[in-house]
Amino acid sequence: MKTLADRSIAIVGYAETKLVRRSGRTALSLAGEAVDRLLAQTGIERSRIDGFATTLAMSEGGNPFYSNLLAEGLGLSVTWCQATEIGGASSGGNIARAAAAIQSGLCDIVLCLASDAVSTVDRSVQSGHRTEYCDPAGYAGPLSAFALLSNVYDQRHGLPHDALARLAVAQREGALLNDNACEVLRRPLTEREYLDSKIVSDPLRLLDCVMRCDGASAVLVMSTRRAREMGFQKLVHPVAYAERINFDPPEACGDMLRTGFTDVAPRAFGAVGWKPADVKMLHWYDDFLIALILQLEQTGFCGPGEGGAFVMAHDMTWHGDLPLNTGGGQISAGQPGLAGGGVNLVECLRQMFGEAGARQVRDAGNAMLSGIGVIQYARTWGTSTVMLLERSR
């Protein structure tokens, strides 16, 4: 996006519910709780919100009127409304879409929502290649794709088991300090426990994978000018954003380890003249731990096959030199279905607002957020996104 680098867009507040396994609630109920908290935190009146972007919810299945009905359920009357369905990348994607809508005059103050009760009920149906060619072949969901991807990595570079264990433990350390993480995940983890965890699909371990849960997050976006007028003191600016859907489509027989991140990272960094070494902390989409290794290698932090060595050479805990997913990430806090990207986004904002309490990163002046969405046929993920954010000076 061309129009973010001038810091003309501001995030003024965020909120989330606790992540809960099988809450028995609905996406609307969880959304209402998150929005109530956001309104209380920002002091903004609900009637001032005139833009609304939401992720979809697996718990709401194929409701063709989802965003519209959610707006109605939340008592919002808006001039711009949309549901974004680029999978786990939708939460970050909605910030960029809100920015575009504000800058084009469609609306003034946007609520970006993510809510899903997928562990209570999953009504999602994926038509297309998933049902026609994957399920009959024995596909067991995203973990099958990530198991095969891990096998390709293992063939080429050797899987960095020690680094994966290090990441699992580092993120768990954050979850222990995160009251909103799933309670079942809030117990200490050792590298040995990670390494000994059950294999679900070779070489993928149970603790390589996210656990589904229910939860919601909400973020308020407006122009920096409006934010100043309204007296907001703490602002976070999204300064760069790049998105790639269906990277390199003819390469169904190409390099599986090369994903859309090789495209979006240079575009995002180039928009603001940053390089990886300028980034203070990482809030990266983590549905599987191997995805973090691949992101390190594909966004310029290290070269192909060097992700494991990079992890071992850095302290990526909340108090380390390159903090990563400081609230536990989705791996150790839980993945609330299609609202999962909100877990990374809200922790990113909480750190940048300086409100992360016992796990506050010392220098949280900027951050890199990433998103991953959708599984391609016999490849990797369909959507790769990078957002760079900076605290207002």
Partner 1 sequence: MNTEDHPLPDVGAPFVRGLREGRLMLQFDRASGRAQFYPRPQSLYGEAGVEWREASGRGTIFALTLSRVGPPQLAGAVPYPMALVQLAEGPRMLARVNAPYEQLAAGQAVEVDWNHPDSRRAFPVFRPAA
Nearer to partner 1, 107 or 204 (CB): 204
Smallest distance, partner 1 to C-beta of residue 215, A: 24
Nearer to partner 1, 152 or 184 (CB): 152
- Closest approach, Cβ 248 to partner 1, in A, equals 10
- For partner 1, the binding residues (CB under 8 A) are 129, 131-141, 143-144, 147-149, 151-152, 155, 198-204, 249-250, 252-253, 256, 377-379
Would you say 119 or 351 has its CB closer to partner 1? 119
Nearest distance from C-beta of residue 50 to partner 1, angstroms: 39
Query: Judged by CB, which is closer to partner 1: 131, or 190?
Result: 131
Task: Please report how close the Cβ of residue 152 comes to partner 1 at its closest, in angstroms.
Answer: 5
Give me the least distance between CB of 272 and partner 1, in Å please.
34
Choice between 15 and 207, CB closer to partner 1: 207
What is the distance between the alpha carbons of residues 172 and 176, in angstroms, rounded to a whole number? 6
Strand partners, 205: 199
In angstroms, what is the minimal distance from the CB of 381 to partner 1? 15
Nearer to partner 1, 105 or 136 (CB): 136
Q: How far is the CB of 379 from partner 1 (least distance, A)?
A: 8
Query: Between residues 224 and 376, which has the closer beta carbon with respect to partner 1?
Result: 376
Residue whose CB is less far from partner 1, 127 or 233: 127
Least CB distance to partner 1 at residue 130 (A): 10
